[in-house]
Each structure stands twice: as C-alpha cells, then as structure tokens.
Amino acid sequence: MAKRQYSFYPGCSSQEGASSSNYLKSVESMCEELDIQLNTIPDWNCCSASIGYAEGGELPRLALSARNLALSEQANPGQDVVATCAACWLATRETRDRLLEDDELMHETNQALAAAGLKLKADQKVRHMVEVLIEDLGYEEIGRHVKKPLEGIKIAGYVGCQTNRPFGISGESFENPVYLDKLVETLGGESIPTYEKKVQCCGGALAFSEPEKSQAMIKGIIEAAYDNGADMVVTPCPVCQMNVEVYQGQINQTYGTKFKMPVVYYSTLMAVAFGKSAKEAALNGHVIRAKPLEDLAGR
Amino acid sequence: MSEAAAKKYAGNFLQEVEANVEEGEWVKMCMQCGVCSGSCPLGPHWEHPPQEIFMMIRANKREEVLTSSSMWMCTSCYNCIVRCPRGLPITHIMHGLAHYANRLGVAPKDNPTHKFAKLFWKNLEKGGRVNELKLGLALYFMNGLAEGVKTSLKMKDIGLGMVKTKRMNPMEIVGGHSCKDKAGLHAILAKAREIELSKAAKFQG
C-alpha cells in the first residue's frame, strides 16, 4: 500500500486529449516516485470553474462541487480531497467552506443532492497538490528523491492567481509567495526570487473572450521572465500554463516580439529531477519545447 | 424573477441587491477606498470599477449597474478580495451581479464574456464535464459564421499545436468525455435551481 493516499479530483482539463493532459501525466510520474496514491473520485463532474456564474446561480454551482464531495465521501472515506487544477481546488474548497459556515445552504444543497440519492457531510479537507507536497512531505523529503538536479537551469516561478488567492498556501504571502522558488532550489535549479510578475493575472477564462486585453497581460509575464534571464517558466495552474504558453505566437505577431519561452508545471520539473523519462514527464505535451529539460531527461 | 417582480424594490436598489445577489448584503460595507479598483488587472477596461459599482448601487443607479459591461471584466483573480480592508467578497459580488443581470435578461447581449460564460455553462451541463473542443468552436462562432471562419483561421496554429501535443482531440466533436450518471447530475441541478428560484420569489413577498 502506498505511503500516502488521497481522494483525487482531476478535473476536465486533465482528461485524455484535453488541454492539460500533460499535467496529469507528469503528476502521475511524480506521485509514483513519492509513493503517493491518488484515488480518483468516481464519476466526478465539472466544478463550473470561475466562469459558470452567468447561467449557474449560487446553489447550482455549489451543488456541482457538492456532488463531487459526496461521491468522494462514499468512495474514499477518511482521505483528503486533492485537486491539481487551481480552479477545481478553489471552487471545491469554497463550496465546502461556505456550506460548513451556513446551515441553510448546507440543508438546501443536501436537498438538491437527494435528487440523485446523495448526501454530503463535507468532512474531508479540500487541498491543492502543492499543499500536499509542501505540508505533508516537505522540501527536505522531496529533495531526497532528486537524482538529476536541474543544474544551470534558470526558472521563473509564476504562481498566478487562483492557487495564491483567496486561500493560498499556508505561510505564504499573497503579494510575494516563494514556494515555487523554494521548490526550484530543492530540485537543484536556479530560482528567480526577483521575478516581479509572479502573481500577475494571465486573464484566466477571459483569454478566450477578451484575447487582446489578456494577451497584453501575458506579454508582461513573459517579458519579465526574459528580463530576469529565465530559461523557462514554472506554474502550478493549468489555465496559467496554457495561456502563457500557447498565445506567444499571436503576441509575437501583434507586438513584434520573438517570444519562445517554455512554460512547464512544477510536476514536470519534479518528474525530470526524479530521473523520469521525457515521456513520463510529458515533455512532448509542450507546444514550446523545454529543451534544457529534454536534454537532462535524455541523459 | 422578472423585471416586473423586481418593481417591488422601486426606489431601493440596495435592498434589491441585498435580497437577490450573491453576497449582496456586503455592499453597504464598502468604504470607498478604491483599493479594489486599483488592484484589478483589467481595471482600466471597466466602465465602472468595483468601488464605483458599490456606490452606484447605493445611489440607486439600477439600470446603469445591471446593464453595464463592468462585472463581465472580472477575471476571478481574487486580488480585490485579499486586499479589501473591509473584507468584502468583491469577486463573488461581481459574479453575483453579473448572474442577476443575466437572470433578469438585462446583461449586455454583445459582451463577449457574457456570451462565453453562457456557452461554458451549457457545455458543462450537457455531459457533466467540459468538452473543450466544442466550447472553443462555439466561442469562435458565437458572432456568426463569417466571423467564426475568420477567428478559426486566426486560431489555426494554436489548434494544430494543441492537437500535435495531444492536448486537443478532434474526435471530441462526436461525443467526448462525460459523466456516467448524467440523469442524476441533471436532477441535482434542476432541484438546486428550483430551490434558488423559489427563494427569490419569496423575497418579493
């Protein structure tokens, strides 16, 4: 039996053939090395992210996350719920907090769940994978698994919004969280504590609906990485990853820049540092290839 | 909830917001310091930034608030929430106002985020999980065929990159990922909506 077990909420974007399927792949490789077992919540549904509000009112949105939590309690009792996606984590944790604070909302949510024969106690904590890594394992234990230090690779830690606010990682500040920098150092890489765009918004879902406004912000995020001499950017959020990586071609066209900055996940870095292959680290899932990591994984 | 039903609050938009908008009871706590407006990443693009919206609610500017494109500029970055010295859940209030305007049918029809947010909900509700390919295509074509073809061409390279890295699957156009117990999920959502609307009706006495 694995040393640590969690009830896992993967979320829509991590499904096969979806935009962050490479995130899930690298997380699986990372967890294998760290002896973490992820027990997927059976038949989980979308959390409605932070853009479902127009049509979905408060209670329907709470009910979506409540269904996942109720299914989790049934299948994986006694385990913390863990999400890898920032929006999944935020929506699910927000739901749990709000229901535990408000008896009337809890009652109404359970009335809604009863329509499918479900019941919610909300007795499982809801956590982001980064919290598991930092709080349950710690930098020291993670460091013990490093077989190929990320030597000479300079990495900008882009924390973004929703893994940072409103909850954030315990002990970190909203304005200048440093856990990605610490993680990079733990893996033997070179961090950039002065990276000034680490908590700048990338536009989130508005990268789709307001592309010009969002790309102006993304441009700043990449530019600051170049200014700080970064070889690549690392992030804990699938929306940040996609937004900052895939629009660089359009930004180059609009602004005449020559951006080609790789954007990877913390789990990508960890998989490579733990000695996994390029395929296991899902390096082939990046539109802008992270060459220094590919070289290291191939060595 | 209809425009006619909202008449009961005539002359008191603050009361209407408190009764019908998610976290609306917090609006009166705003002390007009402007930290939210200064912290918003899209601040310069808001017709009326959050600080102004709060004062406009209290000043009874009902139509100006509900028909504004402002709330639809929220990227849900939560910067305003963590910085507000009075602890107002500003992000949620903006979502709540946007939802209320949509429910009343007065939200700006052409605002792209309003359209996208509706498409998103429709997409997730259908199978219980988001189908990214269909969502993307619906977005490109939301302003009609001609513009859709133009946008699709503009987005072609990004799409090809995603397909090549197996982060987009063209086969999702037929079927695709979904929950097994769709009926159960739909029953839950229907019940939740029923409870919410019956409560809204009750507020109007």
In order of start, what are the domains of chain A with their CATH numbers?
4-128 (1.20.1050.140), 148-298 (3.40.50.11810)
Confidence (pTM): 0.95
- Does A118 sit within 8 Å of B188, measured CB to CB? yes
On whether any CB of chain A is under 8 Å from the CB of B51, the answer is: no
The A residues from 21 to 50 touching B (CB cutoff 8 Å) are: 21-22, 43-46, 48-50
Give the Cα-Cα-Cα angle A249, A27, A242 (nearest 5 degrees).
20
Write a three-state SS string for A166-179: CCCCCCCCCCCCCH
Domains observed in chain B: 5-108 (1.10.1060.10), 112-193 (no CATH)
Separation between Cα atoms, residue A294 and residue A217, nearest integer Å: 28
Separation between Cα atoms, residue A123 and residue A7, nearest integer Å: 13
Give the Cα-Cα-Cα angle A109, A115, A116 (nearest 5 degrees).
105
The B residues from 182 to 201 touching A (CB cutoff 8 Å) are: 183-185, 187-193, 195-196
Per-residue pLDDT of chain A (299 residues; tens, 9 = 90+): 789 999 999 999 999 899 999 999 999 999 999 999 999 999 999 999 989 999 999 999 999 999 999 999 999 999 999 999 999 999 999 999 999 999 999 999 999 999 999 999 999 999 999 999 999 999 999 999 999 999 999 999 999 999 999 999 999 999 999 999 999 999 999 999 999 999 999 999 999 999 999 999 999 999 999 999 999 999 999 999 999 999 999 999 999 999 999 999 999 999 999 999 999 999 999 999 999 999 999 99
Centre a 10 Å sphere on the Cβ of residue A138 and count the other Cβ atoms it contains.
Answer: 11
Write a three-state SS string for A211-261: HHHHHHHHHHHHHHHHHCCCCEEEECCHHHHHHHHHCHHHHHHHHCCCCCC
Token pair in block for residue B33: 């310091």
Contacts of A56 (CB under 8 A, 6+ apart): A48, A64, B99, B121, B125, B189
Tell which residue, A259, A23, A208, A13, has the closest CA to residue B155: A208
Residue A169 has, within 13 A of its CA and on its CB side, a CA count of 22
CA distance A162 to chain B (A): 6
On whether any CB of chain B is under 8 Å from the CB of A173, the answer is: no
Whose tokens are 């829509």? That residue is: A12
Core vs surface per residue A87-112: b (16+ CB within 10 A) or e:
bbbbbbbbbbebbeeeeebbebbbbb
ipTM of the complex: 0.95
CA distance A236 to chain B (A): 15
CA distance A49 to chain B (A): 9
Which of A59, A197, A217 is the best mutation test for B, with the most CBs of B within 10 A?
A: A59
- Does B162 sit within 8 Å of A116, measured CB to CB? no
